[in-house]
Amino acid sequence: MEELKKELKEKIIDALNLDDMSIGDIKDSDFLFGDGLGLDSIDALELIVILDKDYGIKLTDPKEGKKIFESIETMAQYISEHRTK
């Protein structure tokens, strides 16, 4: 799970162009949206693509995304349970 969380942080920094951040800047429990990392609606769509492309998970209801993408912790949990890649 620790490896997955590290991997997720790297992917997020890369895909979302968080140029001035490093893995150490993102805590597992930080909120990704709103007051935490401040990601927006386009970023949410990007995370959905990552889920599909890298882990083989197709989110049929984008609204599910809110809970899944709450933090690195919740993302890692969801991915480890549902990944097909």
Partner 1 sequence: MKNKITHYCNIKNGKISLNGKLVFENQDEPTFLKFIKSAYKTLKIDYPKFYKMDPLCKLSLVASTILLDSMESIDSEMALLLCNRSSCIDIDKEHQSSISYENGGYASPATFVYTLPNIALGEISIKYKLKSENSFFIFENFNPKFMIDYSESLINLGKSKSVLCGWLEVNQDEYNAFVFIVEPKEGEELSVEKLNKLL
Partner 2 sequence: MIQDKNNISVFATTGNCVTPLGFNIQENIKMVLQGKSGIKNFSDEYLHNEPFVGGIIDKEKLNNAFQTLNLKGEFTDLEQMMLLSVKSIQPLYDAILDDKCGLIISSTKGNITSLEKGNIEQYYLSNLADKVAKVIGVKSTPIVLSNACVSGIMAVSVAKSLIQSNVYNHLIIIGADLFSRFVFTGFQSFQAVSPNPCKPYDKNRDGITLGEAAASILVTKNKAVIQGEVYYEILGDSNINDANHISGPSRTGEGLFQSIQKSIAEAQISANQIDCISAHGTATAYNDEMEAQAFNRLGLENTPVYSLKGYFGHTLGASGLLDTVIALKSGSKNLIPQSLGYSEHGVTLPLNVTTENIFTECNIILKTASGFGGTNTAVIFKRHINNEK
- Give the residues lining the site for partner 1 (CB under 8 A): 15-20, 38, 42-43, 45-46, 49, 52-53
Nearest to 67 by CA among 75, 59, 79: 75
Q: Measured from the CB of residue 25, what is the shortest distance to partner 2 in angstroms? A: 25
Q: What minimum distance in Å lies between the beta carbon of 69 and partner 2? A: 14
Report the residue number, 30 or 46, with the smaller CB distance to partner 1.
46
Residue with smaller CB distance to partner 2, 63 or 67: 63
Determine the residue type at 41: S
DSSP string, 41-64: HHHHHHHHHHHHHHH----S-GGG
Position 67 contacts partner 2 (CB under 8 A): no
